[in-house]
Amino acid sequence: MTNSSTNNLTVTIPAQKLTVSHTPDVVVVGGGATGIAAAIAAARNGASTLLIEQRGYLGGMGTAALVPAFCPYTDGEKPVIRGIGLDLLEKMKHAAGEDFLNRYEQLLDWVPIDVETLKRVYDAEVLASGAQVLFHTVADQVLLDGDRISGLVISNKSGRSVVQAKLYIDASGDADLAALAGVPFQVGGENGELQPGTMCYVVTGADKNRFSQFLADIGQHPQLEELVTLAQQNGELPEGRKRISGMAWISNSVVGFNFGHVFNIDGTKAEDLTRAAIEGRQLIDTQIRFLKKYVPGFEHIFLVHSGDQIGIRETRRIQGDYTLVVDDFLSMRTFEDDIARNSYFIDIHLANAGSTMTIKHLPKGKSHGVPYRCMLPQGKSNLIVAGRSVSSDRPVQGSLRVMPNCFAMGEAAGVAASMASVKDIGFREVSIPELQRKLIEQGAYLGDNPGLAYADQEVPVGSVHYEEEN
């Protein structure tokens, strides 16, 4: 029939009987940094776990979008992201070969990503944990029973089927599962503006020694920003970002780039992602020509890989039991239900070519707490949301969104899910002191002088409060 108010054609699909294909204790939707850590943590702690991923490999933005380097794990003095996330970083270093290890063994901040090595490391570590992985699969419908999710409808080459679990972890990055379940959320800024996307890529044929000499020889050559400005003035680069800030040397001749923006992209819309893919590849060609012409050491580069999709920085933010706000970040607050620490700066990229970036740093050696409650979506008892779509305001999302933080939040979600599974309870009934103890025992960092619930008597999730960090 035709809907006269919108003039859109609609179709009523007949009812279907679907097979229940999987019945794990815990299902994780999304195989990026968040989902990897969540699945490993849940399985290691005894829960039968299924990880569902839409692509044929794990890693999310770090592998599908070719983000060239891991953001910092440290606060400038010590690692604040530890546990599973730090272990995976070290395993990639050692698996990437002697040359890579020699370059980056002592580095914890901005370590380049060897994409193909990282894919294999993720496969091995998730499977070793005991978790099951299902690639080439999407969850396209949520079945509800009151405040509980009773099942997911999944689609893949095998057809459509239902996954029924006790607990559900939304690690999609876009809060896809939460949105399908009816959880309220916000998108972007006050006017709906979103951070732009970036189509990242890898080139070979570069000359690191020549490029390093160019950087050192600032008396004879303009700096990189001046070259970008000059190319923009000459019509050889589009207006916008002035810096080639995301450059990661995987070897002396292979470099990953996070350079430039594609604007007005909503990562929850297939039409926008399609346009971004096409525009992004065109922009890469423009940038390659710029690099060859303007930047010493890149005269003979060759494009070997562009992202399977454009890199997305923000989409949905759920409404949770607590919303982490910019004052929490700037005041470096500690919460009684902390499950992670964050020291990455607020990093909001320009929404259009004429605007500017917003960047706010914490003092060296400082961090703020990430409370468990910001992962608990309103109205759902057996669903937890981890990663960049947790409950926060937009500035804080610009800080929490990076992969090291996603590892930490995912690990906490996975441990909580295993605990809830054993006791057959919802996420809000999980003992915060026990959760914090387990996280610390398993290597997570919750601060040097944390105001944790486990230090006192058990505190229900709904009654925790925050205090200023010393």
* Domain count across the chain: 2
Q: Is the residue at 6 inside a domain?
A: no
Q: In terms of domains, do 182 and 209 share one?
A: no
| Tokens at 94, concatenated | 């050692």
The CATH number covering residue 449 comes to 3.50.50.60
Q: In terms of domains, do 212 and 179 share one?
A: no
Q: How much is the CA Rg of the chain, to the nearest whole Å?
A: 22
Q: In terms of domains, do 381 and 421 share one?
A: yes
Q: In terms of domains, do 413 and 289 share one?
A: no
Of 281, 306, 331, the last residue of a domain is 306
Q: In terms of domains, do 284 and 425 share one?
A: no
Q: Provide the edge-to-edge strand list for the sheet that holds 138-145.
A: 20-22, 159-163, 148-156, 138-145
Q: In terms of domains, do 156 and 42 share one?
A: yes
Angle between the N-to-C axes of helices 403-423 and 33-44, in degrees from 0 to 180, rounded to the nearest 10: 30
Q: What is the pLDDT of residues 381-439, one digit of tens each?
A: 999 999 999 999 999 999 999 999 999 999 999 999 999 999 999 999 999 999 999 99
Report the b/e string of 399-429 with b at 16+ CB within 10 A. Answer: bbbbbbbbbbbbbbbbbbbbbbbeeebbbbe
Residue 329 reports pLDDT greater than 70: yes
Q: What is the pLDDT of residues 352-385, one digit of tens each?
A: 655 555 778 999 999 999 999 999 999 999 999 9
Q: Is the residue at 69 inside a domain?
A: yes
Q: In terms of domains, do 79 and 141 share one?
A: yes
149 forms beta bridges with 144
Q: In terms of domains, do 176 and 228 share one?
A: no
Q: In terms of domains, do 236 and 177 share one?
A: no
Q: Is the residue at 195 inside a domain?
A: no
Q: In terms of domains, do 170 and 84 share one?
A: yes
Q: What is the pLDDT of residues 81-110, one digit of tens each?
A: 999 999 999 999 999 999 999 999 999 999
Q: In terms of domains, do 225 and 174 share one?
A: no
Q: Is the residue at 9 inside a domain?
A: no
Helices (H), 304-357: 326-330
The parent domain of residue 295 ranges over 201-306
Contact 405, 344 (CB under 8 A): yes
Of 280, 306, 332, the last residue of a domain is 306
Q: Is the residue at 7 inside a domain?
A: no
What pTM value is reported for the model? 0.93
Q: In terms of domains, do 222 and 261 share one?
A: yes
Q: What is the pLDDT of residues 268-278, one digit of tens each?
A: 999 999 999 99
Residue 458 reports pLDDT greater than 70: no
